[in-house]
Amino acid sequence: MTPHECFRRVHRRLHMAAYLVPRVNRAAWREEWIAELSYAARQSPMLAVALADGLVRDAIMVRRLHVARRIAAIDWEAPEACLRVLTFCFAVLSLASAAYPQVRNLVLSRWGVGAFFCFTVLAVLALPSTVVTSRFSACKAYSGDAATMAQRWSRWRFLAAKLVLSVLSCYLLAVHVTWLFQRLLGAQADWLLIACGLLFNVIAVSWAFTDQRQRCPTCMRSLSGAARLGPPSWSLLDSNATEEMCDRGHGLLHQPQWQTSWFEYARWLQLDSTWSELFKR
Ligand SMILES: [Zn+2]
């Protein structure tokens, strides 16, 4: 291989590998590699070619570290993270539906419109029972006494967004499942869609209410630091509950282990602004 061919090969590999490196690190990464390759090329052009074999592997490693840092930096307790995950699931299922012409035609057909209507009715019917089974109705944090109108509005908006995104995702998932078994079941596949509608809606709506109950009613962040209070034998004489707190210092949620006449519902203890100093980051 002539020195000119060596330089062309190294240059091509450097150019290709640079696309794998995140944009923020690209200029520094390229400078560093050009310096190393130039030093190797001064010794021997073939040495530079051998060194260039590691370009792609190094670029992939830089990309992996970048992704790992981005994931570690996500604030999973924040309500925005929850909505982003739901939006991502919905986007993936929508793309999967668009990618398969059979599923796309199924969703856009009259059958798809009827199935969506049926799915929405089942989701609405699942609401009353799941409010009870998820114990959302037994959580006094959401009675709204200590919240401003803006906070109450943001809670309902967040809950509505979760319900809409999860039910829509479940609908697309149910269509995919029905499509997979359509050849096997024939006309009976409609019953499979109804069964999926019942099951998926109950799971999705229950999750939305349970997740809402385990969030701070002020900032909607997930409660953390669960601590057990009192042994079970203290049920009649003292507290037997789990206590979770908002990591921004808005309050504490006491959830009784068992319902008793004096401690029936989960209680929210709102902390005043003097506590915020303790939770500052
Ligand atoms: Zn909070």
Ligand 1 centroid to residue 132 C-alpha, Å: 24
Q: In this structure, is residue 218 part of a structural domain?
A: no
- My answer on whether 13 and 61 are in the same domain is yes
Model confidence pLDDT, tens digit, residues 199-221: 999 999 999 999 998 888 888 89
Secondary structure element (H or E) that encloses residue 270, with its range: strand 267-270
> Same domain, yes or no, for 143 and 246?
no
Task: Report helix, strand and coil shares of the chain as percent, to nearest 5.
Answer: 70, 10, 20
Asked, for residue 152, whether it belongs to a domain, the answer is yes
Q: What's the total number of domains in the chain?
A: 3
Q: Identify the sign of the CA torsion 118, 123, 127, 131.
A: positive
Q: What are phi and psi of 244, to 5 degrees?
A: -125, 155
C-beta of residue 218 within 8 angstroms of C-beta of residue 147? yes
Same-domain check for residues 232 and 205: no
Core vs surface per residue 48-64: b (16+ CB within 10 A) or e: bbebbeebeeebeebee
Pairwise CA distance, residues 120 & 126, whole Å? 10
Tell me the C-alpha distance between 278 and 120, whole Å: 45
Query: Does residue 120 sit in the same domain as residue 242?
Result: no
202 and 84 belong to one structural domain: yes
Determine the distance separating the centroid of ligand 1 and the alpha carbon of 233, expressed in angstroms: 32
147 shares its domain with 36: no
Distance 256 CA to ligand 1 centre (A): 20
Domain end call among 161, 182, 213: 213
Cα–Cα–Cα angle for 227, 229, 235, nearest 5°? 145
CA 259 to ligand 1 centroid distance, Å: 25
Q: Can you tell me the distance from the alpha carbon of 216 to that of 250, in angstroms, rounded to the nearest whole number? A: 7
Same domain assignment for residues 142 and 173: yes
Residues 140 and 173 placed together within one structural domain of the fold: yes
Q: What is the pLDDT of residues 91-150, one digit of tens each?
A: 999 999 888 888 888 888 888 888 889 889 988 998 888 888 887 777 776 665 556 778
Q: Give 169 Cα–ligand 1 centroid separation in angstroms.
A: 28
Residue type, 112: G
Regarding whether 108 and 193 lie in a shared domain, the answer is yes
DSSP letter assigned to residue 75: -
Instruction: Classify residue 209 by burial, with Cβ atoms within 10 Å: 0-12, 13-18, 19+.
Output: buried
Name 252's bridge partners.
245, 269
Q: Tell me which of 72, 91, 120 is where a domain ends.
A: 72
Closest CA to 42 of 80, 78, 10, 82: 10
**Distances in whole angstroms, Cα of residue 223 to Cα of each of 210, 211, 213, 248, 252:** 12, 10, 9, 10, 8
pTM, two decimal places: 0.74
Whole domain around residue 21: which residue ranges?
3-72
- Ligand 1 centroid to Cα of residue 204, in Å, is 24
- Answer yes or no: do 84 and 162 share one domain: yes
Q: How far does the centroid of ligand 1 lie from the alpha carbon of residue 239, in Å? A: 24
Question: Do residue 87 and residue 206 come from a single domain?
Answer: yes
Task: With respect to residue 61, please indicate whether it lies within any of the assigned structural domains.
Answer: yes
Instruction: Report how far ligand 1's centroid is from the alpha carbon of 238 (Å).
Output: 27
d(CA 99, CA 81): 27
Ligand 1 centroid–CA 63 distance in Å is 34
- Helices 189-213 and 149-185, interaxial angle, to 10°? 160
- For ligand 1, the distance from its centroid to the CA atom of residue 157, given in whole angstroms, is 16
**Does residue 219 lie in a domain region?**
no
Q: How far is the CA of 270 from the centre of ligand 1 (A)?
A: 9
What is the distance in A from the centroid of ligand 1 to the CA of 199?
Answer: 32
Q: Tell me if 195 sits within 8 A of 214, measured CB to CB.
A: no
Does any domain span residue 11? Answer: yes
Residue 200 domain flag: yes
Confirm whether 198 is domain-assigned: yes
How many angstroms separate the alpha carbon of residue 86 from the centre of ligand 1? Answer: 21
Same domain for 184 and 88: yes
Distance 246 CA to ligand 1 centre (A): 5
For residue 91, the model assigns a pLDDT of: 95
In the listed set 29, 52, 72, which residue is the last one of a domain according to the structure? 72
Q: What is the DSSP string of 192-247?
A: HHHHHHHHHHHHHHHHHHHHHHTB-TTT-PBPEEEEEES-GGGTTTS--EEEEE-T
User: 274 CA to middle of ligand 1, Å?
Assistant: 14
227 Cα–ligand 1 center, Å:
17
- CA 265–ligand 1 middle distance (angstroms): 20
Residues of the chain with pLDDT under 50: none
Is 180 contained in some domain? yes
Supply 196's token pair: 């999926």
Distance in Å, CA 243 to ligand 1 centroid: 14
